[in-house]
């Protein structure tokens, strides 16, 4: 029982791991697709009716958790765009040319650039195919795991039935072996008694 339970536990844990990896890869692929689609949509809207303005760099990226920030003014309102493309020698307080969509001042990009956030688009282009390949690999592994689990269950059932049949046969043989001598002994004793009576007569 212990040897059968341990592989079953390992198999269940392995199957959950592949399911979790498939879900995470699917979520990553969908998220990166949405990011790329949003960037492409904003780029198309800006290119349709671009409005030029001037922005000021207020923050530079200082690590993986921080992004650049550029503030600009549209219709008397101060707005901020994050993670835009900036030149390598950019400094806080530098002025930079921007253009935004006429119908959406939040869709803004640096002049001369196609996408508002080129780094995000590049990340989406790389991560989406990788996530899809990972998801496909997880699906293949999950199917193989299901087939192996079904085969293991069939083997276990067959062994269980064989063990039950052999146990039943063993019990029946043992019972017959124990009962036969008493039955035979009883018949012999009756015959002897009848023969003895006839001899006495």
Model pLDDT for residues 122-158, shown as the tens digit of each residue: 778 888 888 888 888 888 888 887 777 777 677 666 5
Q: Which residue has the tokens 């009848």?
A: 194
Between CA 86 and CA 116 the distance in angstroms is 11
| 67 within 8 A of 60, measured Cβ to Cβ | no
Q: Which residue has the tokens 């492409």?
A: 40
| pLDDT higher than 70, residue 37 | yes
Arithmetic mean of pLDDT, 9-32: 77
Phi-psi region of 115 (alpha: psi -120 to 50; beta: other; left: phi over 0): beta
pTM summary value: 0.56
Model pLDDT for residues 146-193, shown as the tens digit of each residue: 777 777 677 666 555 555 555 555 554 554 455 555 444 555 445 455
Model pLDDT for residues 87-130, shown as the tens digit of each residue: 889 999 999 999 999 999 999 999 999 998 887 787 788 888 88
Between CA 38 and CA 116 the distance in angstroms is 10
Arithmetic mean of pLDDT, 194-200: 49
**Kind and range of the H or E run holding 40:** helix 2-48
């Amino acid at each position: 029982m212990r040897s059968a339970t341990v592989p079953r536990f390992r198999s269940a844990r392995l199957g959950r791991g592949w399911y979790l990896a498939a879900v995470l890869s699917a979520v990553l692929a969908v998220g990166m697709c949405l990011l790329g689609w949003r960037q492409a949509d904003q780029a198309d809207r800006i290119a349709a009716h671009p409005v030029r303005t001037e922005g000021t760099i207020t923050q530079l990226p200082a690590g993986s958790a921080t992004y650049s920030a550029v503030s600009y003014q549209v219709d008397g309102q101060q707005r901020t765009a994050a993670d835009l493309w900036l030149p390598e020698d950019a400094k806080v307080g530098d002025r930079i040319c921007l253009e935004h969509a006429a119908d959406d001042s939040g869709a803004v990009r640096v002049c001369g650039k196609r996408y508002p956030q080129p780094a995000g688009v590049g990340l989406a282009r790389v991560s989406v195919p990788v996530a899809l390949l990972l998801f496909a690999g997880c699906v293949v592994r999950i199917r193989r795991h299901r087939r192996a689990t079904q085969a293991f269950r069939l083997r276990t059932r067959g062994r269980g039935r064989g063990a039950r049949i052999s146990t039943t046969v063993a019990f029946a043989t043992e019972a017959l072996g124990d009962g036969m001598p008493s039955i035979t002994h009883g018949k012999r004793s009756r015959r002897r008694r009848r023969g003895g009576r006839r001899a006495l007569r």
